[in-house]
Structure 1
């Protein structure tokens, strides 16, 4: 999994994707999901295991996740409600906002 943390004026933004979906575009009806190198990869991204992903998500203000593995990790950890996971053209996507 590729993990990126960014400090923003609104708090910490975390992006996580499975390595095999980086650079892919998924479509479902009017919804298009671009898993761009700029947002999910790049120099700031690091390979991360389950523990690192869970710890990062727990410290995030907002997060975006794409791919079966990383979304599954977040669901298994009780961070993402499985009923709120979106199926977008052959992959899964979840967003997280802590209020």
Structure 2
């Protein structure tokens, strides 16, 4: 999987995708999702590094069957909140913090 981390004013933004979906566009009647190199292209890592990044993320965008299923298994994403976009899966994580 590919992981990119960006520090923002709102916290850590993490993007994760399966390597085989990079550069692809997935569509349904209502949604078009392009997995761009600019946003999703990152370091190729294993499951442990993905879990570490997601554990620290304030916001995460996750694309690809393998990546989304890992996020579900590790408790970051509820399966009911996963979108099927064409032949792939997409999920977003937003961690709310109380001040």
Q: TM-score range by the shorter chain?
A: over 0.9
User: 1:51 Cα deviation (Å)?
Assistant: 0.8
Mapping 1:56-95, distance limit 5 Å: 56-95=53-92
List runs of 5+ in structure 2 lacking aligned partners: none
List runs of 5+ in structure 1 lacking aligned partners: none
User: 1:30 Cα deviation (Å)?
Assistant: 1.9
1:24 aligned partner: 24
Q: In structure 2, the residue corresponding to 1:80 is in which secondary structure?
A: coil
Residue of structure 2 aligned with 1:53, choices 13, 37, 50: 50
TM-score w.r.t. structure 1 length? 0.95
Q: In structure 1, the residue corresponding to 2:62 is in which secondary structure?
A: strand
**Residues 68-98 of structure 1, C-alpha deviations (whole Å, 9 max, x = no match):** 0011111110111011110001100000000
**Residues 25-62 of structure 1, C-alpha deviations (whole Å, 9 max, x = no match):** 00001210010010001xxx111111110110010000
TM-score w.r.t. structure 2 length? 0.95
User: 1:65 Cα deviation (Å)?
Assistant: 0.3
